[in-house]
Chains A and B, each alone.
Chain A
């Protein structure tokens, strides 16, 4: 049972981060530049933040624990993101040109989670997922899970072997917990996110991997809190809410509440100053805002037994 102090702090951190995120987008920060063409040279810059907005908004709407203001903000953010991808046309055109590229599928998965659909894109994705090429791309094991989860969200007929995919990740090997480094920690969090679809299927994480996470998550959280890696700490708190009963207590939430600014910004890490330039500050801390909202949301949803997990 999560204690009520944790729930109240999680709710506060998450809703304040949502306020910050919503205000930034309302004021036009993070918009895809008008001159962006389908064949983006650096797709990550424009697409990744938009995908994260769609992710956080769709999960908040799915879980239904945000309250009226949070729900309204999530709806507006998702509408805005859907508009930015021209109601899916941009994703469709990009996927049509690049058969093996997975970002249109992954981005669309978040919209599909909330019922925003593009039939022509789905037909295209269904066709591509039948290609051997779509499964032969050489990507990291946790990235492969991201693609599999997106296919699951869209409802494509391809059925992955989840256990085999999970076994190929770092966590699947349940390696020495002290060998985990910063980048590996992010691989671990993403493995959990995709296998459980952000807490919707706590049982999606195979039991030996879940036991491993429950044993060592408190250590990983402790060491990255100590050096002020707030972004990673928030991802670890999401993990804690995705796997059933929480393995960590108040430590993480109290530390994060203490570093959150009055306007809701959560600094990415302790060792860098927050820029006074709003654009720059938004670019640097938007990911942390997204994971702060998600951490609060998934923690509440798990404790209240709402959202997809309870469905």
Chain B
């Protein structure tokens, strides 16, 4: 009897896409990630893993759009963090990256009834130690930290080294690594929202990645966050019209 079977890896990849897609919907004003879960049954393991991977971004709609609290999403993130240990890091550098991603998830959960603040991990080396190339790749891995309300030493370096972030973005674009480019463009959007002048026009970068990128919901989520951050850097038309 013929039967279709997907590999475990495919199941996890599909779950990440589903969760990212739902979060993207929420960013655009639709339902949240909680809609993924049937409250009467246990959450499937791939879904929990996907939630753990996306981490703080699960609550990005609340942080970026002023959407109301999403209790079920926060509960889901808290459950994922409880049920699944942080992935085993292959190196000391990777451990730091995972530590900071986890810190971000803890910080956003601390604003909900489902968690409390976690202490920051050890600081990361900056572009002077790593070179702007390696540092920007590291920052791309930490794009989930580029959210309003999160602040710390990683953000301080990002604020101070906008040109290095922009160089990393352009380098990734030219190397056709549009996933890394999207994540660094998100940091640039964050820097703009912080009032930092940008050496690079980020709008065309986002548009290029939207058209030429992998088209995944996960990249779409990075782009949507970047766009919303960028929009914060300039007053909306309505605000301008209200100005005396």
Contact = CB atoms under 8 A, between A and B. Distances in A.
Nearest to A251: B131
Given A176-B201, A222-B133, A215 B171 contact: no
A47 interface: no
B174 A178 contact: yes
Contacts of A206: none
B166 A223 contact: no
Interface residues of B, number: 17
Interface in A203-229: 215-216, 218-220, 222-223, 226
A178 B205 contact: yes
By Cβ-Cβ distance, the 7 closest A-B pairs, closest first, are: A178-B173, A178-B170, A223-B174, A219-B170, A219-B171, A177-B170, A219-B167
B160 to A, nearest CB: 16
Contact of B163 (A180, A215, A222): A215
A215 B199 contact: yes
Contacts of A180: 174
Contacts of B133: 222
Contact of A219 (B174, B201, B204, B205): B174
A218 B174 contact: no
Interface residues of A, number: 12
A178, A220, A223: residue with the most chain B Cβ atoms closer than 10 Å:
A178
Given A176-B204, A216-B170, A219-B167, 9 more contacts: A178-B169, A178-B170, A178-B205, A178-B208, A215-B199, A218-B167, A219-B171, A220-B174, A223-B175
5 contacts: A176-B204, A178-B169, A178-B208, A220-B174, A226-B175
B132 interface: yes
Nearest to B175: A223
Nearest to B133: A222
B198 to A, nearest CB: 11
B33 to A, nearest CB: 33
A216 B171 CA distance: 9
A103 B173 CA distance: 37
A219 B173 CA distance: 10
B154 interface: no
Interface of B: 132-133, 163, 166-167, 169-171, 173-175, 199-201, 204-205, 208
B170, B199, B204: residue with the most chain A Cβ atoms closer than 10 Å:
B170
A219 B208 CA distance: 18
Contacts of A177: 170, 200
A27 to B, nearest CB: 40
Interface of A: 176-178, 180, 215-216, 218-220, 222-223, 226
Contacts of A218: 132, 167
Nearest to A227: B175
B199 A222 contact: no
A297 to B, nearest CB: 27
B36 to A, nearest CB: 35
Contacts of A222: 133, 171
Contacts of B169: 178
A218 B171 CA distance: 9
Given A176-B204, A178-B205, A215-B166, A223 B171 contact: yes
A223 B163 CA distance: 17
B156 to A, nearest CB: 22
A216 B201 CA distance: 13
Nearest to B199: A215
Nearest to B205: A178
A70 to B, nearest CB: 32
A176 B132 CA distance: 19
B67 to A, nearest CB: 33
Contacts of A226: 175
B137 to A, nearest CB: 12
Nearest to B163: A215
Contacts of B163: 215
A203 to B, nearest CB: 22
A219 B167 CA distance: 6
B168 to A, nearest CB: 8
Contacts of A220: 174
Contacts of B173: 178
Nearest to A215: B199
B102 to A, nearest CB: 31
Nearest to B168: A219
A178 B132 CA distance: 16
Contacts of A223: 171, 174-175
Contacts of B205: 176, 178
A216 B204 contact: no
Contacts of B167: 215-216, 218-219
A40 to B, nearest CB: 38
Contacts of B174: 178, 180, 219-220, 223
A222 B174 CA distance: 10
